[in-house]
Chain A
Amino acid sequence: MFTSELNLQARRRRIAFLFLAPTLTTLLCVTVWPLVRTIWFSFTDTTTSHLYEGHWIGFDNYLSLRTLASGKVVWKGTLVDPAWWNAVWNTLYFTILSLCFETTFGLIIALTLNTHFRGRNLLRTAILIPWVIPSIVSAKMWGWMLNDQFGIINDFLLNVGLIREKIAWTANFDTAMISVLFVDIWKTTPFMTLLILSGLQMIPPDIYEAACLDGVHPVKVFFHITLPLIWPTLFVAIIFRVLDALRMFDLVYILTPGSSATKTMSAVSRENMIDFDQFAYGAAQSTLLFLFLIFFVSIALQISKTKLLEE
């Protein structure tokens, strides 16, 4: 009796493992192995043209110090590379601005869609279209629309009289980042809207009726009732969005290739690995980006944990 029970447990465990095995194997192959490999590469002098001939060089790709014959001390490595710090700044700038706009617009649209009006369901579906279009397609599409020669946007702005001459939105150093931000906000606001809307729909309507009887002004209802109640959803949406924005690559790469005004950490890392034949150097930058994300996630988890403990 006892042994058969043990057998049953062992069998259950084996079946559970069997079911988990495909996922674990896939994860191991496509996530863990490339990650470990990248980190290892970052400590070597591997080049793209000679991928298997790298040697261990320690932290040199990150930071190294040489004393020249003249006695001059020279720092080298990613951590003193102005191009890298420019990319870090671009990424942070992009993340913060896109997050602010997408959250604000998402909130406004979600609040609108949460009210009752005719055609609401149609609008709810329609609003998702920008998010459903693949990034490459929307980047190419906006690339043409923003084009200085043939773009419809220049044409429109000229006709309306807002600009005096055509602007190369994506190529111009001053407007490149604005273009990327604009397209990203256009593309990702629906995602924020959808998440916030799901949070709004979890609020029981009678709470608003109670507030109405309490005579609470609608603006105060928003700040004292709606916002605190959707905060958990909003928090998750923001984390998703920040993680996504910190890894921003596709829009920048397609819309504004090579522009130092928009080059993000991912873009710089790819450039070193593929274009500049500095595979290990790019790997070091990838590793730094990875640490950056880990740091952010742990802060976010810490916040949500303390929030949970409070409750």
Chain B
Amino acid sequence: MAKIQLKNLKKSYGAIEVIKNINLEVHQGEFIVFIGPSGSGKSTLLRLISGLGEMTSGELLFDGELVNNLPPAERGIAMVFQSYALYPHMNVYANMAFGMKLAKANKEKIKKRVLDTAYLLQIEHLLDRLPKHLSGGERQRVAIGRAIVRNPRVFLFDEPLSNLDAALRGTMRLEIAKLHRSMQNVTMIYVTHDQIEAMTLADRIVVLRDGQIEQVGTPQEIYEKPQSQFVAKFIGNPEMNFLTGSFSTHLGCSTLGIRPEHIDIVPHGSGVWSGKLVHSENLGADTYLFVEIGADKPLIVRQNNTRPIPLQSKITLNPREEKHLYRFDSDGKPVLAR
């Protein structure tokens, strides 16, 4: 239930500045994802918001109220940790009730809240088990349950699915999306390095790089209108192709980017690039073709037809549409359309 404002936020450890002047406004009920490579400061930024870490300078406001000096427990936040951070010696019920119990809440009220949450997350059958007798997915559910019981105005997730296997990660992703829909007033901030989680969960994505915000936008905007070569490369799987030298200069840019899914195979003589197929990866629904066109690296082309193309055959390629060409200058900034 909170609007969060970050104003000129900075954090340094000694001489090393890990968060460099971050300005961001998170709307009430919004699902924001911080994404970036390791060392980009995304977890540090989350810890600053939670109050577990102290900022060096800047202002943090919840609903317009300065919370810089408010201890974590009084900020109305709940956090789900990557390692779950469940109390190992308490059963699931005690884990979820712990905060309320020590806050001397009414026993009946605690019970009702815990049971309601357990019902919501379908963990009622686990209530009297110890964390060590739970699977990874169950533990993460309990950790989320413990956070819900706190009835927070801001929900923080620190890479919550990183310790789960791929299949479970998919299931839990859905659960978190569902949770967000059922708690529409609660602002959620989610840290991940997984672009699928970012793209599927976020209302808006914040791409971080070296302690700075590289771009803020909806998943669609980030994917379609990357504001830098870094963002263009970071979001999208397989990665965007980047062409330099003679491939880009005649288009008035230093680097030309095009996503593998935006390249078509065309009849000989009609395309702009041609080359030899040197490798292909068949993923079932899609095939990634690696085409040697004389650039630094083979061009990756994503095809969703399953008609096999023999290796070493000559292929001609063409970008699907003009708008799919991304042009960047030597600083990695986009070159505006002529």
Interface residues of B in 190-215 (CB under 8 A from A): none
The answer to whether B83 has its CB under 8 Å from any CB of chain A is yes
Q: Which residue of A lies closest to B94 (CB)?
A: A224
Decide yes or no: A204 and B85 within 8 Å by CB, A214-B150, A215-B99, A224-B102 being known contacts.
Answer: yes
Cβ distance A231 to chain B, nearest Cβ, rounded Å: 8
Which of B71-79, B179-187, B268-276 lies on the face that meets chain A? B71-79
Interface residues of B in 208-231 (CB under 8 A from A): none
Q: Which residue of A lies closest to B133 (CB)?
A: A311
* Bound CA–CA A220/B101 (angstroms): 11
Which of A33-41, A188-196, A205-213, A259-267 lies on the face that meets chain B? A205-213
B89 partner residues in chain A, CB cutoff 8 A: 225, 228-229
Determine which residue in A213, A215, A220 has the highest number of CB atoms from chain B within 10 A of its CB, and name it: A213
* Bound CA–CA A225/B87 (angstroms): 7
* Bound CA–CA A144/B73 (angstroms): 55
Number of interface residues of B (CB under 8 A): 23
Cβ contact within 8 Å between B85 and A207: yes
* Bound CA–CA A224/B89 (angstroms): 9
Cβ contact within 8 Å between A209 and B99: no
Cβ contact within 8 Å between B83 and A204: yes
Cβ contact within 8 Å between A212 and B102: no
Interface residues of A in 183-239 (CB under 8 A from B): 204, 206-207, 209-217, 220, 224-225, 228-229
The answer to whether B98 has its CB under 8 Å from any CB of chain A is yes
Chain A residues touching B, range? 10 to 19
A206 partner residues in chain B, CB cutoff 8 A: 81, 83, 85
The answer to whether B88 has its CB under 8 Å from any CB of chain A is yes
The answer to whether B44 has its CB under 8 Å from any CB of chain A is no
The answer to whether B120 has its CB under 8 Å from any CB of chain A is no
A211 partner residues in chain B, CB cutoff 8 A: 87, 98
* Bound CA–CA A281/B115 (angstroms): 67
Q: Which residue of A lies closest to B152 (CB)?
A: A213
Cβ contact within 8 Å between B99 and A216: yes
Determine which residue in A209, A214, A215, A220 has the highest number of CB atoms from chain B within 10 A of its CB, and name it: A214
The answer to whether B337 has its CB under 8 Å from any CB of chain A is no
B81 partner residues in chain A, CB cutoff 8 A: 206, 209-210
* Bound CA–CA A163/B72 (angstroms): 52
* Bound CA–CA A215/B77 (angstroms): 11
B78 partner residues in chain A, CB cutoff 8 A: 213
The answer to whether B167 has its CB under 8 Å from any CB of chain A is no
Q: Which residue of B lies closest to A220 (CB)?
A: B102
The answer to whether B103 has its CB under 8 Å from any CB of chain A is yes
Q: Mark B93-116, 1 if CB is under 8 A from A, else 0.
A: 000001100110000000000000
* Bound CA–CA A212/B81 (angstroms): 13
Q: Which residue of A lies closest to B83 (CB)?
A: A206
Cβ distance A10 to chain B, nearest Cβ, rounded Å: 41
* Bound CA–CA A168/B291 (angstroms): 95
The answer to whether B52 has its CB under 8 Å from any CB of chain A is yes
B103 partner residues in chain A, CB cutoff 8 A: 215
Cβ contact within 8 Å between A210 and B87: yes
Q: Which residue of A lies closest to B132 (CB)?
A: A311
Cβ contact within 8 Å between B73 and A229: no
Q: Which residue of B lies closest to A206 (CB)?
A: B85
Tell me the B residues contacting A by CB distance below 8 Å.
50, 52, 71-74, 77-79, 81, 83, 85-89, 98-99, 102-103, 130, 146, 150
Closest 3 CB pairs of A and B: A215-B73, A214-B99, A206-B85
**A–B Cβ pairs within 8 angstroms, 23 of them:** A204-B85, A207-B85, A207-B86, A209-B52, A209-B81, A210-B79, A210-B81, A210-B85, A210-B86, A213-B73, A213-B78, A214-B99, A214-B102, A215-B72, A215-B99, A216-B73, A216-B98, A216-B102, A220-B102, A224-B98, A224-B102, A225-B87, A229-B88
A206-B81, A212-B71, A215-B71 given; 4 more Cβ-contact pairs under 8 Å: A210-B79, A210-B86, A214-B73, A216-B98
